[in-house]
Amino acid sequence: MRAVRIHGKQDMRTEQVPSPVPDAGEVRLRVGYVGICGSDLHYYADGAAGIFTIREPLIPGHEVSGVIDLDPTGAWEAGTPVTVHPATWGAAQADLTVEQRHLWPGGGYLGSASTWPHTSGGLAELLVVRRDQVRRLPVSLPLTRAALAEPLAVGLHGLVVGGGIGGKRVLISGSGPIGLLTAAAAAAGGAAEVVCADLLAGPLQRARVLGEASPVPIGTIQIGVEELPEDHFDGVWGSGVDAVLYAGTSEYVFFKGDEYGIVGLDRKMKSGYPHKLSSWNGMWTHGVDAATWATHGGHARGFVFKGNECIKVALPSRNCEAAKPIDTVFDGLLPIASARTFFEPQIHGFKFTNFFDLDARMFGQPTWEMGLCGGMVFGALDRIRHLIPVPPNTSPPGEKCPDVELLWELVKRQAATLDPGLVGMLALQALPDQDFMTDPGAPSISFPGAGPGTPARPPSFSDGAESRTQKTWWPRIKKTLDDAQPAIVCLIRVPLKGDPSKNHQVLAVGYDQMAHDLVRLNVYDPNHPGGVQVIIFNPTPGQRLNGSQDDGSPLRAFMKVEEPPSMY
């Protein structure tokens, strides 16, 4: 299987590793989406998260959604959508309850270097976990959104430890992903008002989008630009980049880097930024090293420590369903697999469009309009392989650009690509889109007194153009791209009996596997010089191809054309 592994500081690779096999007490998931946490970023950027340093290649990722791939017991049906509780518990302690088992020493976490061997995470095609870590998801919940389950739990945890938010006016300090999820949970959980604060404008814009579908208003305050209203909020919850501390003296302390400000429980600003943090033994809202519990005002509070700093945390008391705009929490989706080649369309592709307006008076016509997409694709590729740049002109050879030598080169190259590809193109175009029956089968035949008849013959089917693309041509193209080599691709655009000259050739220069049912193919298209065109399709046999291109051109199927011999 493919997996992303961090080998050390700023050394991350996509590699082939053995597929994990589950034991009787485990299940295997086919991973759909993985959220990227701050700890994952630290493992990559620093080679460590806190005191935990990478000592062997580590698969990161603990915010996971996917489907059941294999359960040795058969209790979980394959394809069931699930998420994962990323923690495993350590040794029980007499002074810690089962509800506090996440504090038992010796526990672990998916995608963590805190254990030896390291605990692999979910940034891979397959993941094996204990069966008690699996949580079934509603069928209606998209896997993209389900990857937010773990960070949402952090926000819910904070709301519960804070004493509940029903009917309260709530300030969320820090509007990153966890802050926005906490805001959504507060709104769904009965808060009278929710306000998100942050130093940056971008997170606050996401908060405003979130508020468009909120059952209660979600306001925003940009710290340093707008003033916090006095005597307004009933509770303060910290998340994102601003750490919040309850000092035990009727005051909250807000931290940003090594600076802090103090807010009293009367909600008046006692001391604003910037105050430098010198020595402080209080409780922060971020960290990963150790944890303990304390009580205040009859409420249990958890504190997690990082180095000599301490973090306040909490657990949810009830579930809540976030509004649809919770998707604004995402900064974007990254591929689980990808490949790139040396060919850059903006640099190595021709600068003119595939439209040739030729003087054809010798044939009794004033002009001759034609396309040479195959010639341009092969020409650009052959040139870069021999370090020969494409000409700088932006007009194709013809009446406006009388470069006969270049025109003759492209015509010869067009013929060269048709030689290995024409028969395959016609054969693929001649197929119906979907699989078709080639033999309807036959019933069994028997004769009186002759005993059992001949056995029935089941019907047989042949691949349609879409299945042929998914089963035969895409794997060949993918292998070429995985080897870091571009691939000439013929796009079948016309129906069975259409004009074959309307099909089109492009050069595949990379791909992104965005999920198990979606591939984004990046191509140099001679019809669109100066940029990258994108083709999106479903590579899974048995499902519709659903191919589409940026420019809206139809796409029935596609195939790989073998690269002709060089003309240099």
Mean of pLDDT values over 143-151:
89
Cα distances from 297 to residues 158, 161, 186, 237, 313, in angstroms, run 16, 11, 21, 17, 16
Q: Is the pLDDT of residue 359 over 90?
A: no
- 3 state SS for 282-340: CCECCCCCEEEEEEECCEEEEEEEECCEEEEECCCCCCCCCCHHHHHHCCCCCCCEEEE
Strands 269-276 and 259-264: what pairing?
Answer: antiparallel
Mean of pLDDT values over 538-567:
89
Q: What is the pTM of this model?
A: 0.50
Q: How far apart are CA 383 and CA 391, in angstroms?
A: 10
Domains and CATH numbers, the chain: 2-146 (3.90.180.10), 149-326 (3.40.50), 338-433+462-561 (no CATH)
At residue 61 the predicted structure's pLDDT band, cuts being 50, 70 and 90, is very high
Place of tokens 């040794």: 91
Q: Is the pLDDT of residue 356 over 50?
A: yes
Phi, psi of 480, rounded to the nearest 5 degrees: -60, -45
Exposed/middle/buried for residue 504 (C-beta within 10 Å: 0-12, 13-18, 19+): buried
pLDDT tens profile 402-422: 777 888 889 899 888 887 778
Q: How far apart are CA 272 and CA 230, in angstroms?
A: 13
At residue 133 the predicted structure's pLDDT band, cuts being 50, 70 and 90, is very high
At residue 492 the predicted structure's pLDDT band, cuts being 50, 70 and 90, is very high
Q: What is the pLDDT of residue 244?
A: 44
Q: What is the pLDDT of residue 408?
A: 86
Q: Is the pLDDT of residue 210 over 60?
A: yes
| Three-class DSSP category at 279 | coil
Sign of the torsion angle spanned by Cα atoms 93, 302, 290, 38 = positive
Q: Is the pLDDT of residue 209 over 80?
A: yes
At residue 530 the predicted structure's pLDDT band, cuts being 50, 70 and 90, is confident
Q: How far apart are CA 529 and CA 194, in angstroms?
A: 49
Q: What is the pLDDT of residue 400?
A: 65
Mean of pLDDT values over 67-89:
92
Plot region of 303 (φ>0 → left; ψ -120 to 50 → alpha; else → beta): beta
Amino acid identity, position 274: P
Longest dimension (CA), the chain: 104
Mean of pLDDT values over 331-339:
62
Q: Is the pLDDT of residue 113 over 80?
A: yes
Report the chain's mean pLDDT, rounded to a whole number.
77
pLDDT tens profile 234-290: 555 544 333 444 433 344 444 444 334 444 433 333 333 333 333 333 333 333 333
Q: What is the pLDDT of residue 402?
A: 72
Q: How far is CA 309 from the centre of its chain?
A: 33
Q: Is the pLDDT of residue 70 over 70?
A: yes
Phi, psi of 460, rounded to the nearest 5 degrees: -120, 150
The total of other beta-carbon atoms located within 10 Å of residue 345's CB is: 22
At residue 457 the predicted structure's pLDDT band, cuts being 50, 70 and 90, is low
Q: Which of 51-65, 84-98, 410-424 has the lowest mean pLDDT?
A: 410-424
Amino acid identity, position 385: R
Mean of pLDDT values over 93-101:
84
Nearest 5°: CA angle at 269, between 266 and 271?
A: 130
Sign of the torsion angle spanned by Cα atoms 144, 146, 150, 155 = positive
User: Of residues 318 and 522, which shows the higher confidence score?
Assistant: 522
Q: What is the pLDDT of residue 106?
A: 86
Q: Which of 172-181, 217-226, 283-292 has the lowest mean pLDDT?
A: 283-292
Q: Is the pLDDT of residue 368 over 90?
A: no
User: Of residues 189 and 300, which shows the higher confidence score?
Assistant: 189
> What tokens were used for 460?
């047989």
Q: What is the pLDDT of residue 239?
A: 41
Mean of pLDDT values over 530-544:
88
Alpha helices in 363-490 (DSSP H): 373-385, 404-429, 465-468, 474-482
Q: Which of 143-147, 244-248, 411-415, 463-467 has the lowest mean pLDDT?
A: 244-248
